[in-house]
Amino acid sequence: MKVVITGGGGFIGLRLAKSLLARGTLASGNGAQSGQQSIARITLLDTAFPPNMPADARLETVTADVADPAVIDRVVTPDTASIFHLAAVVSGGAEADFDLGMHVNLEAMRLLLERARRAERPPRVVFASSVAAFGGDLPAVLDDSITPNPQTSYGTQKVVSEYLLSDYSRKGFMDGRSLRLPTIVARPGKPNLAASSFASAIIREPLNGVACECPVDPDTGIWMLSPRRVVEAFIHAHDLPAAAWGTKRVVNLPGITASIKQALDALARVAGAEVAKRVVWKPDARIQAIVKTWPVDFNTPRASAMGFNADPDVETIIRNYIADEGIKL
C-alpha cells in the first residue's frame, strides 16, 4: 500500500514516518475485507527536510508546497491508500500571517480532499487538528460535548478542515479521522512559531544547559501529550475500523494537565534543581493572549473508549524525552 504524510519533514510527521517504517504495515479495507497490509511506499511532502533522513527504499521525499494543485496531483496518486495530513503553519505563524495560514491550513486541505476523492478506493485520511479548536468562554474541564469556538485563525482553519473531512467521509469520498492534539511536549530542536513553543522550551533548553525565558506565568496550565503517545495515536486512529468513528469523525485526544510550575518541579526531580533554575520569567503579552484562549483540562471518555492513551505524568514525559534524544545528565 502507498502512504502519504504531508508535513513529513516536521516534528511529528518524521517520527510518524519512522514508526511506520519500523512497523511495516497499516490497516486497509473495511469490514470482512479489512486487515494489515505491507507498506510499499511512504511519500513525505514538506517544504524542507532535516539532514540524516532514514535510508529506506520505501521512503520518498518531495520538497514542495502542499497547497500547490500540481504537487498534490503528483504526490497523491489514484493508488494512495492512506494520507496523514500534518503540514501546517502553526498557531503563532497563522496568526501573524493570515494569508499564509489560509493557504497552507485550509487551501491545502481542500485540494487534498478533492484529490483523494479521485482515488481508486476511498483512502483513509488522518488529520492533525488541535485543541486550539476550542476557545472563548470555556468550562474548567472540557468534555466531548463542547462545540469548538476557536479564537485564533489557526484554530478556525483546523475546525473548518475537520468539518470538510467529516462531510467528505459522510459522502463516502474517503474515510477521514481528525485528532485534536494537545500540546506535544517536549519538542527537540529550535523553538518554532507555535504560541505553545515555550511548553517544550522550558524542558528542552535547561536540559541543553541553556537559559530559557518563559513568556507565561508559572501557574499557566498546559494540556499535554508526548511525542511517543501522539505517534501511537495517529497509527491507532488510522487503523480503527470506520464503525468505531461512526458519524463523529473527530476526537479530543487524551492528555494530562500540568502547570509550568509542576513541569519545572518534575524537571528538578529528574535532572536536578540547578537545571530547573535555568528558566526565568519574561511575560509576553502576545503569547499570553493566545494561550489564555486555550483549554487546559479535558475529560476524554470517547477517546479512552476508542483505545487512545495519555502519558501517566509529566515526569515520565521528561524521562522519555531524555531517553529519546540521548541526553546525558
Ligand X SMILES: NC(=O)c1ccc[n+]([C@@H]2O[C@H](COP(=O)([O-])OP(=O)(O)OC[C@H]3O[C@@H](n4cnc5c(N)ncnc54)[C@H](O)[C@@H]3O)[C@@H](O)[C@H]2O)c1
* Active site positions, annotated: 154
Residues in contact with ligand X, counted by CB under 6 A, come to a total of 26
Q: Please classify residue 108 by burial: count the beta carbons closer than 10 Å to its beta carbon, then call 0-12 exposed, 13-18 middle and 19+ buried.
A: buried
Tally Cβ neighbours within 10 Å of residue 1. Answer: 20
Distance between the two ends of the chain, CA-based, in angstroms?
Answer: 42
Q: Cβ-closest residue to ligand X? A: 10
Give SS3 for 115. Answer: helix
Of 159, 181, 222, 266, which one interacts with ligand X (CB under 6 A)?
181
52 dihedral zone (left: phi>0; alpha: psi -120 to 50; beta):
left
Give the distance from CA 82 to its chain's centroid: 17
What's the closest the beta carbon of residue 131 comes to ligand X, in angstroms?
7
Helix count (H) and strand count (E) of the chain? 14, 14
Q: Which is nearer to ligand X, 107 or 284 (CB)?
A: 107
Q: Which is nearer to ligand X, 28 or 150 (CB)?
A: 150
- Tell whether residue 96 is a contact of ligand X (CB under 6 A): no
- Tell whether residue 295 is a contact of ligand X (CB under 6 A): no
Of 3, 12, 231, 270, which one interacts with ligand X (CB under 6 A)?
12
- Tell whether residue 83 is a contact of ligand X (CB under 6 A): no
Of 44, 46, 109, 166, which one interacts with ligand X (CB under 6 A)?
46
Q: Please classify residue 149 by burial: count the beta carbons closer than 10 Å to its beta carbon, then call 0-12 exposed, 13-18 middle and 19+ buried.
A: middle
Residues 6+ apart with CB under 8 A from 286: none
- Tell whether residue 226 is a contact of ligand X (CB under 6 A): no
Stretch that binds ligand X, among 8-16, 73-81, 115-123, 268-276 (CB under 6 A): 8-16
What's the closest the beta carbon of residue 38 comes to ligand X, in angstroms?
26
Give residues in contact with ligand X (CB under 6 A).
7, 9-13, 45-48, 65-67, 86-90, 104, 128, 130, 181, 183-184, 192, 196
